[in-house]
């Protein structure tokens, strides 16, 4: 797969509380987008703690990963996060998320998944996994609440056929909010 990643910290901060983790293994691709609550060094610390957990446990499946992150982050300020697992052999994308992380899948149709209410590290009880078809050429867009949800790919003729980095950069340029950390990941 090819990936485009664009992000920045809250204006005036040196580090971002938004982070991502991507791992390709055994015919699968795991994409995680993480948003540490708040912004600045404390948010960045808990986001990086989440990424470290994912690096060590990425093979465990979405529900176990989410619950494992929840246990590892107890006592911290917590994160909201989304996990997308693409099984290339089965042509399926599975998503699980908490908080205001968003995901769009663009292929034969367009699918958007919402995340459940909750904060990983504070009040996660049950993980819900959702699936959709995902084939060659399909596009996945995951982003934090630092990106306005109002963008439409139809607003940019031909953009959907561009490289993932150009798509990420374009959406970020036009829809990144100025009052938060912001991160977008695009994969094809």
Q: pLDDT confidence of 113, banded at 50, 70, 90?
A: confident
For residue 154, pLDDT beyond 90:
no
For residue 8, pLDDT beyond 90:
yes
- Which CATH fold would you assign to the domain 3-187? Phosphatase 2c; domain 1 (3.60.40)
The predicted model gives 14-21 an average pLDDT of: 97
For residue 27, pLDDT beyond 90:
yes
Q: pLDDT confidence of 94, banded at 50, 70, 90?
A: very high
Q: What is the pLDDT of residue 115?
A: 85
Domain residue limits, the chain: 3-187
The predicted model gives 10-32 an average pLDDT of: 97
CA distances from 14 to 11, 17, 130 (A): 8, 10, 35
The predicted model gives 184-188 an average pLDDT of: 97
Q: What is the pLDDT of residue 159?
A: 92
Q: Which residue has the higher pLDDT, 34 or 109?
A: 34
Task: Determine phi and psi for 56, rounding to 5 degrees.
Answer: -85, -20
CA distances from 161 to 7, 51, 91, 147 (A): 22, 30, 20, 21
Q: What is the pLDDT of residue 108?
A: 64
Question: Around 127, how many Cα atoms within 13 Å sit in the side-chain half-sphere?
Answer: 20
The predicted model gives 44-52 an average pLDDT of: 98
Q: What is the pLDDT of residues 123-146, one digit of tens each?
A: 988 999 999 999 999 999 999 999
Instruction: Report how far residue 184's alpha carbon sits from residue 24's, in angstroms, rounded to the nearest whole number.
Output: 18
pTM of the model: 0.95
Q: pLDDT confidence of 112, banded at 50, 70, 90?
A: confident
């Amino acid at each position: 797969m090819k990936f485009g990643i664009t992000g920045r910290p809250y204006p005036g901060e040196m580090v971002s509380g938004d982070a991502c983790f991507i791992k390709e293994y055994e015919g699968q691709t795991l994409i995680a987008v993480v948003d540490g609550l708040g912004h600045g060094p404390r948010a960045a610390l808990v986001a990086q703690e989440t990424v470290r957990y994912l690096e060590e446990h990425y093979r465990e499946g979405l529900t176990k990963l989410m619950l494992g992150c929840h246990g590892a982050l107890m006592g911290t300020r917590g994160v909201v996060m989304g996990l997308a697992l693409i099984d290339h052999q089965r042509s399926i994308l599975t998503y699980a998320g908490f908080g205001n992380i968003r995901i769009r899948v663009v292929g034969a149709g367009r699918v958007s998944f919402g995340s459940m209410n909750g904060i990983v590290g504070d009040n996660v009880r049950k993980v819900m996994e959702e699936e959709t078809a995902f084939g060659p050429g399909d596009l996945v867009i995951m982003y934090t609440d630092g990106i306005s949800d109002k963008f439409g790919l139809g607003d940019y003729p031909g953009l959907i056929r561009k490289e993932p980095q150009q798509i990420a950069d374009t959406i970020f340029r036009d829809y990144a909010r100025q009052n938060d950390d912001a991160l977008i990941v695009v994969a094809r």
